Amino acid sequence: MDYVIYFVLTIGILVFIHELGHFLAAKICRMQTDVFAIGFGKRLIGWNKINGFTIGDLPKDFDQQGHTDYRLSLLPLGGYVKIAGMIDESFDNKFLKEAPKPYEFRAKSTIQKLFVITAGVMMNFTLTLVVFAAINFYQGKQVLKTTTVGLVTENSFAAKAGFKTGDKILEIEGKTPEHWEDVLNKLVLTDLGGDKNVSIQRGNEVVDLNVKGSLISDAAQEPVLLPLGDSRPMISMVVKDSPAGDAGIKAYDVFLSLNGVELNSSAEAIEIISKHGDVKMPLEILRGKDTIRTAVTPGIDGKIGIGIGDAYTGEVDYITYGLLPSIGLGLEDIVQYSVLTFSSIGSVIKGDIEFGSAFGGPVKIAQFAARSADLGIISFLRFLALLSLTLALLNILPFPVLDGGHFVIILIEGIIRKELPLKFKIAIQNAGFVLLMILMAFILYNDIINL
């Protein structure tokens, strides 16, 4: 249920922002807007200046007298602004039987038309920049000063790539990563889909790995690409009257060692606890700056009554930014992610990346929205901004039905100084609509089989 709620919330916000761009641009250019809709299909509820709030469809011959009907429709997979005198996805062409009116889209200049058609994409870019800049300004950046790999589990990406627990990454493609984010960026974002040569320090020797690009592309879809090193198990909660409570364990305690084994991950702690039911084990804890030694005896079921996760305990740097630098960094992020998006499309076309690994539909959006929300408001806003940017980039592609397709047609008409034949434009729209529906169905199919 959470997935559905976060999906509807995410899509609702992005659609509203996008369509608001078209709507405001149309108003600025004095065009009549008949409908502002969130969702497609049957009108559920809406408001207009003539009859206020109403439920269900408007009367068939209802005269809006030039006012906009703001509505919520049945299918929450998009939205639209219906502008008078424009051939859009509704394929309404009744207005062509009459002479162009001053308030219609077709009566406006090429510049005004292009402004209106690109305004939605510009609003998506603006949303992304505002979110990125706000995060940079209010939160700054936390830099984890480590390049050490954490616990490598069997069949994980790290194991398949040849990494082992405790490996220190020295170079990726001949360049030295300065911190953990740098490691991930050099591994994933540089030369997307390409193989990576990685030099690591393993004990007293230097080992060279060749990590396949296809392996990286598949792993990039997972919540954790590489396990973070310099980490320890941290307690998130303690059940009342449990073995952990009896041992004096408290929330936010960090486990250093258990039963004589130094711990580097929660997985190690869980494995030791589960295998030693009803066995008293020595435990070393870090609480603040104090080291505490105690003992804990798991129940017969191999549990001690705790919530446990991994916490980074290594060196951390904090970087703060002013307003202008925050905006500048936001623009840099937009450029970086835009290059990554188009590189992904190119890699899919070349066959370097599987389609299902590069693109996601409603199911993946719902999953990632819920996961990001679980991590906090900042994480959710970052996901929202990234999705807004992705939708903007895809929308400007010169494909029929999309804003980019409308842009090309308007530009051609502006250059030749006359409208293209109506039948041609409708045929292009129909073909584009069918292809888009097939693509969406294929993406949804990929989402479902990858659950």
Decide: 296 and 243 in contact? Cβ < 8 Å.
Answer: yes
**Phi, psi torsion values for 37, nearest 5 degrees:** -120, 135
Share of the chain above pLDDT 90, in %: 40
List of residues 6+ apart from 208 with CB closer than 8 A: 197, 198, 199, 200
pLDDT category of residue 50 using cuts at 50, 70 and 90: very high
Classified as helix, coil or strand, 235 is strand
pLDDT of residue 24 exceeding 90, the answer is yes
**Phi, psi torsion values for 416, nearest 5 degrees:** -85, -5
Report the pLDDT value the prediction gives residue 187, as an integer from 0 to 100.
Answer: 84
> 3-state SS of 36-89?
EEEEEEEEEEEEECCCEEEECCCCCCCCCCCCCEEEEEEEEEEEEEEECCCCCC
Share of the chain above pLDDT 70, in %: 89
pLDDT category of residue 221 using cuts at 50, 70 and 90: low
Report the residue count for the chain: 451
Report the pLDDT value the prediction gives residue 362, as an integer from 0 to 100.
Answer: 65
Domains and CATH numbers, the chain: 2-32+84-135+389-449 (no CATH), 142-228+314-319 (2.30.42.10), 231-313 (2.30.42.10)
pLDDT category of residue 39 using cuts at 50, 70 and 90: confident
What is the tens place of the pLDDT at every residue in 331-363?
988 988 887 777 777 766 766 666 665 566 666
What is the tens place of the pLDDT at every residue in 57-88?
998 888 888 899 999 998 877 788 999 888 76
Mean pLDDT of 394-421: 90
pLDDT of residue 235 exceeding 60, the answer is yes
Report the pLDDT value the prediction gives residue 448, as an integer from 0 to 100.
Answer: 66
Q: How many CB atoms lie within 10 A of CB 150?
A: 23
Report the pLDDT value the prediction gives residue 20, as an integer from 0 to 100.
Answer: 95
pLDDT of residue 373 exceeding 80, the answer is no
Report the pLDDT value the prediction gives residue 385, as an integer from 0 to 100.
Answer: 93
- The gap from C-alpha 232 to its chain's centroid, in whole angstroms, comes to 28
Report the pLDDT value the prediction gives residue 4, as an integer from 0 to 100.
Answer: 76
Report the pLDDT value the prediction gives residue 293, as an integer from 0 to 100.
Answer: 94
Question: Best-predicted range by mean pLDDT among 32-36, 91-95, 142-146?
Answer: 32-36
pLDDT category of residue 89 using cuts at 50, 70 and 90: low
pLDDT category of residue 319 using cuts at 50, 70 and 90: confident
Give the whole-angstrom CA distance, residue 411 versus residue 406: 9
pLDDT of residue 284 exceeding 90, the answer is yes
Report the pLDDT value the prediction gives residue 245, as an integer from 0 to 100.
Answer: 92
Helices (H), 311-376: 323-350, 355-358, 362-374
Helices (H), 63-186: 110-139, 157-161, 180-184
Residue indicated by tokens 């269900």: 56
Report the pLDDT value the prediction gives residue 33, as an integer from 0 to 100.
Answer: 94
pLDDT of residue 2 exceeding 70, the answer is no
What is the tens place of the pLDDT at every residue in 242-265?
999 999 999 889 999 999 999 888
- Quote the mean pLDDT of the chain: 86
pLDDT category of residue 54 using cuts at 50, 70 and 90: very high
Torsion of CA 201, 202, 207, 213, to 10 degrees: -80
List of residues 6+ apart from 80 with CB closer than 8 A: 19, 35, 37, 40, 88, 89, 90
pLDDT category of residue 447 using cuts at 50, 70 and 90: low
- Look at residues 62, 28, 26, 31 and name the one whose alpha carbon lies nearest to residue 46: 62
Report the pLDDT value the prediction gives residue 257, as an integer from 0 to 100.
Answer: 94
Strand partners, 318: 142
Give the whole-angstrom CA distance, residue 366 versus residue 439: 18
What is the tens place of the pLDDT at every residue in 138-177?
888 888 889 988 888 888 888 888 899 889 999 998 899 9
- Look at residues 91, 84, 86 and name the one whose alpha carbon lies nearest to residue 427: 91
pLDDT of residue 98 exceeding 90, the answer is no
* C-alpha dihedral sign at 145, 151, 156, 161: positive
Mean pLDDT of 110-132: 96
Report the pLDDT value the prediction gives residue 365, as an integer from 0 to 100.
Answer: 72
